[in-house]
Amino acid sequence: MKRTAIALAGFAMFGIGIAHAADAAKGEEIYKQVCFACHDAGVAGAPKLGDKAAWEARIAKGEATLDKHAIEGFTGDAGSMPPKGGRTDLSDDAVKDAVHYMLSTVK
């Protein structure tokens, strides 16, 4: 019981919802199948996985905004993100899981 409470507190501290906490492995899987193509190399201005400095300004906008941009697509000063990374067959929740996985590497 104590470990569960500590784990839930840890997820809350990192701003990861409980529903998404259970899908961390799925988020990593989606990343490895889709997102890596741009986020490993920084293609089109994509912030690289684990690069805290590159993610800092994006994180400041909030996870809801990051989720929205990843799902709907976004073009900004630093580059562009195609809707769902070009994989429109992914569910919104799968995209959110991948976003939250990427965020977990920089928080």
Domain boundaries, the chain: 19-104
CA nearest neighbour of 96 among 38, 15, 13: 15
What pLDDT is attached to residue 58? 94
Segment 10-58, tens digit of pLDDT = 444 445 445 445 488 999 999 999 999 999 999 999 999 999 999 999 9
Phi-psi category of 79—alpha, beta or left, where left has phi over 0 and alpha has psi -120 to 50? left
Q: 19-104: which CATH architecture? A: Orthogonal Bundle (1.10)
The rounded distance, in Å, linking the Cα atoms of 104 and 107 is 5
